[in-house]
């Protein structure tokens, strides 16, 4: 709709009035200015916070007041009242850098398959320094959260999953919400720049969560996403590991390899290339057994967030056709060249396992039958061609001549 903001920044506030102006100020300082700020007063009781929020006025900012129902409900109330296409939750005591929105919006606008965009982060408050969060992967986030609460997502996706789960009463509601989006098949992208600043205080909600509460929140997360976690249970039966070897100029080395566990029916693998600097080639090992692979798409994202298509230049497949790659070697590999892409950040490989292990043998027989049929068809076409008929006397004469010489 005309006049609607592109991004809604949702700031829940419960007795955090002392920090609010700094948080709002970081939002207003964005280089991307098509946004609104929705502050949710979650039933604050602190007199100073109540006074500040009673008549709070800042550009592009409005305040809604609710009874105290917890962080999940406060975020849901804010998103529900928001008007933007994209949503950025921001706690009232944290800050964002001035280029966060412009970088994240570019990613979401250009990549509909990506549903969560976050960034690198740093601490401020009682302690500063880099927040060394590990790079996102599905296996990591299933065991613990690797994405902080202030990541951007689409409001339509929030509606599709029913928002934040209010049963996460002790915290980790953001982790549970990211699992909901990932469960829908949405991908995750981390901007390789520090745009988020997490305030360290003497005591935070996460630090205050005791072992018993952590147990119950983890249990709730698993129950909320039973189908997603079932894919982990399948690993005992269907364990697959894909590997990506990196050549930085000295050839492929077992020391420069990234591994990914493949969960259930996962059909896209994302590999982080940022630690390797200049990259000449990649060698992708989709599986360690016989296989028929359907390669759908290869996309490389550079350090500025731009997407490039690339392709396989070599492989040890014994047959290719119609996007299908047949490997009779138990160690399939495909080489991907990156000469034209400067500073690659990530490669996304979209593929299908059309057959693996013993299921490959019927495919081998079928392909051999197709080759034989094609060979017969070619011979038949030659025999029926005009050139074959015209050269018939010459072939007869050549045969007679060879016999006469003998």
Domain boundaries, the chain: 7-232, 241-359
Over residues 156-173, mean pLDDT: 85
Tell me the two tokens of residue 327: 């490997």
* Alpha helices per DSSP H over 82-145: 100-110, 138-143
Yes or no: say if 317 and 287 are a contact pair by the CB < 8 Å rule. no
* Alpha helices per DSSP H over 100-187: 100-110, 138-143, 155-161, 173-183
Classify 326 in phi/psi space as left (phi over 0), alpha (psi -120 to 50) or beta.
beta
Q: What is the DSSP letter of 164?
A: S
The domain made up of 241-359 has a fold known as Jelly Rolls (2.60.120)
Coil, helix or strand at residue 133: coil
Q: What is the pLDDT of residues 136-147, one digit of tens each?
A: 888 788 777 889
- pLDDT above 70: percentage of residues in the chain: 81
User: 């990591």: which residue's tokens?
Assistant: 140
Pairing assessment for the beta strands 114-125 and 334-337 based on DSSP bridges: unpaired
**CA 286, CA 316: separation in Å to the nearest integer?**
12
Count of other CB atoms within 10 angstroms of residue 201: 11
Q: What is the pLDDT of residues 63-81, one digit of tens each?
A: 999 999 889 999 999 999 9
**CA 376, CA 29: separation in Å to the nearest integer?**
72
Q: What is the pLDDT of residue 367?
A: 67
**CA 214, CA 161: separation in Å to the nearest integer?**
23
More confident residue, 307 or 167: 307
**CA 292, CA 289: separation in Å to the nearest integer?**
10
Q: What is the pLDDT of residues 231-256, one digit of tens each?
A: 554 443 344 678 899 988 888 887 88
Sign of the torsion formed by the C-alpha atoms of 7, 8, 11 and 12: negative
Q: What is the pLDDT of residue 297?
A: 86
**CA 27, CA 84: separation in Å to the nearest integer?**
15
More confident residue, 367 or 106: 106
Tell me the two tokens of residue 383: 């025999």
3-state helix, strand, coil in the chain (%, to 5): 35, 30, 35
Yes or no: say if 363 and 354 are a contact pair by the CB < 8 Å rule. yes
With CA atoms as reference, report the closest residue to 280 among 337, 224, 225: 337
Over residues 220-238, mean pLDDT: 57
Over residues 310-336, mean pLDDT: 88
Q: What is the pLDDT of residues 176-206, one digit of tens each?
A: 899 999 988 899 999 999 999 999 876 544 4
Q: Does domain 7-232 have CATH number 3.90.550.10?
A: yes
User: 């493949």: which residue's tokens?
Assistant: 262
């Amino acid at each position: 709709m005309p006049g609607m903001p592109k991004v809604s920044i949702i700031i829940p506030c419960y007795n955090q009035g002392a920090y609010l102006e700094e948080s709002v100020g970081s939002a207003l300082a964005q280089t991307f200015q098509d946004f609104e700020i929705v502050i949710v007063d979650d039933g604050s009781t602190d007199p100073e916070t109540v006074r500040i929020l009673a008549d709070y006025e800042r550009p592009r900012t409005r305040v809604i007041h609710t009874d105290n129902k917890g962080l999940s409900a406060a975020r849901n109330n804010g998103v529900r009242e928001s008007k933007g296409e994209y949503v950025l939750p921001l706690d009232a005591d944290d800050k964002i850098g001035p280029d966060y929105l412009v970088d994240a919006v570019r990613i979401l606008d250009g990549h509909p398959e990506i549903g969560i965009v976050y960034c690198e982060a740093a601490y401020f408050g009682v302690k500063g320094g880099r927040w060394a969060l590990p790079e996102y992967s599905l296996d990591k986030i299933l065991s613990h959260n690797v994405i902080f609460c202030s990541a951007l997502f689409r409001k339509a996706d929030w509606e599709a999953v029913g928002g934040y789960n209010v049963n996460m009463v002790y915290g980790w509601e953001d982790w549970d919400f990211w699992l909901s989006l990932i469960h829908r098949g949405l991908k995750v992208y981390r901007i390789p720049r520090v745009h988020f600043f997490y305030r360290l205080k003497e005591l935070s909600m996460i630090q205050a969560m005791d072992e018993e509460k952590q147990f119950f929140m983890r249990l709730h997360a698993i129950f909320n996403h039973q189908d997603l976690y079932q894919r982990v249970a399948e690993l005992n039966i269907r364990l697959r590991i894909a590997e990506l070897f990196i050549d930085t100029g000295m050839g492929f080395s077992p020391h420069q390899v990234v591994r990914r566990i493949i969960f259930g029916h996962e059909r896209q693998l994302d590999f982080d290339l940022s630690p390797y600097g200049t990259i000449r080639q990649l060698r992708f090992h989709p599986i360690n057994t016989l296989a028929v692979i359907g390669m759908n798409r290869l996309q490389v994202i550079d350090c500025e967030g731009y997407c490039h298509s690339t392709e396989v230049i070599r492989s040890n497949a014994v047959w290719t056709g119609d996007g299908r790659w047949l490997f009779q070697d138990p160690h399939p590999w495909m080489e991907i060249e990156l000469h034209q892409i400067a500073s690659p950040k990530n490669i996304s490989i979209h593929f299908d396992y059309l057959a693996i292990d013993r299921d490959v043998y019927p495919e081998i027989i079928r392909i051999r039958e197709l080759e034989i049929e094609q060979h017969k068809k070619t011979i038949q076409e030659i025999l029926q061609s005009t050139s074959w008929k015209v050269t018939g006397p010459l072939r007869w004469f050549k045969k007679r001549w060879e016999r006469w010489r003998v």
